[in-house]
Amino acid sequence: MALLDVPALMGPRVVAPPAAEFIVGVADRAEVEAYRQLRRDAFVDEQGLFEGTDRDELDDDPRAVVLVARAGGGVVGGVRLAPVGSEDIGWWTGSRLVVAPSARSALGVGSALVRAASALAEQLGVLRFDATVQVRSSVLFRRLGWEQTGRCVIGGVDHLRMRWPIDRHQRLVDATKSLLEAVLEPHTAWAASPDGSLGGAGWVGDDGAPVPGTDVVAACDAILPSMVERDPEWAGWCGVLVNVNDLSAMGAAPVGLLDAVAGRDAAFVRRVLAGVRRGAEAWGVPLLGGHTQVGVPAALSVTALGRTAHPVPGGGGRYGDALSLTVDVSGSWREGHHGSQWNSTEGRRSHELRDLAGAVARARPAAAKDVSMAGIVGTVGMLAEASGYGAVVDVASVPRPGGASSEVTPGDWLSCFPGFGMVTADRPGESRMHSPYAETAEIGELSLRRGVDLRWPDGEVTRAVGGGVTGLGPA
């Protein structure tokens, strides 16, 4: 993993520039020792906050990262970052920020270290980043965008608990789902006539649409053109995958697929269709036909038809319902899509894929949504919004590949497309979701506060999504 090097002179200059340029980067072994000496000089000898030594258990944690400011061949400041607890669930702290006396008059070292630590925390997939700082240093943190969350006393000196606001999930839903209200109006939940709303009353914003007067459910998804161009076979496979997931979330058994594919030449289109055919065979869904075009930019959309007499709604949750996540944690990141697309499905045999696809139909939960490009948190938000509520997610309860030692960061996992993942709602303790090829766990509940909150083991709650994800409102 490549970690950042941050130039010191960042942002608008509010004071005279430093006497010498410096660079912030990850410390090597010798620089870690130089940083610890600066800490001893400042916190033990100069300020008397600690007696004898300021070392603690984080100094022995192999996961901790030390950033230092380098100038003139030496270390003139530093700060450390480390996860809280034995398992990294995305909660980290920054601590022991120190600047050498010789560099304090050249303002900018401390702020550069804090900015670098904040940026690195987000790069490492951190979702909650806290720090405890002396009151006299809090002005610097506030100026850089940190928020106060509490107070405490260390070594007889007043300190403030502060937090760096991380808006990863809000940015993701804004980029992928928030435009739906404006694009689809007036065909939304607020349509003047129930017949004018997409999917019909009770199904607005759902994964598929029940065809009135029948037991047919229809779904349609397009694959990003850039993905089709870069990885045509994978795009074809995903075209089937996402449509089967949409039908599965409603408890419908897929009965047929139609595709519309385009590309620069016949050879390219054949590569896309090879992926579509492979997916159709894997899930056992007939490919009925479609439309093909060459000599144009790459494109792919797939329509799926399924059948169920009793569709499961995405908006069927009630206040207090427990939210469960059923997800296939096998597999790995898809090459070229690290951190955004988890490939669990290509390693599965056909009967395993079909068992997963039938999980919602067997369980018949009160509500279900398949995890989309908005990620686990965004999909929780969509189910909650369609049900007329908000949601709270217990971060430590979310099933994740590889456990604590996994290379999959909490931030990536909660915001990626996981291949197969279903968020469902039922009365607490009554989830019936099950497949031998997936893990199921209760991960939170529906609440009265719109949007999505993340709840942490210490009881603290951080905001992940500030309101409705799609703007379509209750189904």
User: Average pLDDT in the 245-261 region?
Assistant: 98
Straight-line distance from the first to the last Cα atom of the chain, in angstroms, rounded to the nearest whole number = 43
pLDDT at 114: 96
Tens of pLDDT, residues 328-357 = 999 999 999 999 999 999 999 999 999 999
In the predicted structure, residue 9 carries a pLDDT above the cut 80: no
DSSP E strand boundaries for 350-447: 367-370, 390-394, 421-426, 439-447
Tens of pLDDT, residues 72-97 = 889 999 999 999 999 999 999 999 99
Other beta carbons within 10 angstroms of residue 344's beta carbon come to 23
pLDDT at 406: 67
Q: Give dist(CA 460, CA 133) in Å, integer.
A: 19
Residue that has been written with the tokens 């209760």 in this structure: 442
Tens of pLDDT, residues 234-252 = 999 999 999 999 999 999 9
Q: Give dist(CA 229, CA 94) in Å, integer.
A: 41
Q: Give dist(CA 250, CA 243) in Å, integer.
A: 11
User: Average pLDDT in the 209-234 region?
Assistant: 95
Contacts of 353 by beta carbon, 8 Å cutoff, 6+ apart: 282, 283, 345
Q: Give dist(CA 53, CA 39) in Å, integer.
A: 9
Q: What is the DSSP track for 88-142?
A: -SSEEEEEEEEE-HHHHSSTTHHHHHHHHHHHHHHHTT-SEEEEEEEGGGHHHHH
Other beta carbons within 10 angstroms of residue 17's beta carbon come to 12
Contacts of 120 by beta carbon, 8 Å cutoff, 6+ apart: 3, 4, 65, 67, 81
Q: What is the H or E stretch that residue 352 is in?
A: helix 350-357
pTM for this predicted structure: 0.90
User: Average pLDDT in the 457-464 region?
Assistant: 97
Tens of pLDDT, residues 92-108 = 999 999 999 988 876 69
pLDDT at 4: 46
pLDDT at 188: 54
User: Average pLDDT in the 21-32 region?
Assistant: 95
User: Average pLDDT in the 284-303 region?
Assistant: 97
In the predicted structure, residue 18 carries a pLDDT above the cut 50: no
Residue that has been written with the tokens 């597999």 in this structure: 331
21: confidence class by pLDDT, cuts 50, 70, 90 = confident
Q: Report whether 96 contacts 78 (CB < 8 A).
A: yes
20: confidence class by pLDDT, cuts 50, 70, 90 = low
pLDDT at 291: 97
> In degrees to the nearest 10, what's the CA dihedral of 249, 250, 251, 257?
-80
User: Average pLDDT in the 10-22 region?
Assistant: 50
Flag the least confident range among 38-47, 290-299, 396-405, 463-472: 396-405
179: confidence class by pLDDT, cuts 50, 70, 90 = confident
Is residue 343 packed enough to be buried (19+ CB in 10 Å), middle (13-18) or exposed (0-12)?
Answer: buried
User: Average pLDDT in the 159-163 region?
Assistant: 95
In the predicted structure, residue 11 carries a pLDDT above the cut 60: no
In the predicted structure, residue 445 carries a pLDDT above the cut 60: yes
**What φ, ψ does residue 320 adopt, rounded to 5°?**
90, -10
Q: What is the mean pLDDT of the chain?
A: 91
pLDDT at 423: 98
User: Average pLDDT in the 28-49 region?
Assistant: 95
User: Average pLDDT in the 395-408 region?
Assistant: 82
In the predicted structure, residue 311 carries a pLDDT above the cut 60: yes
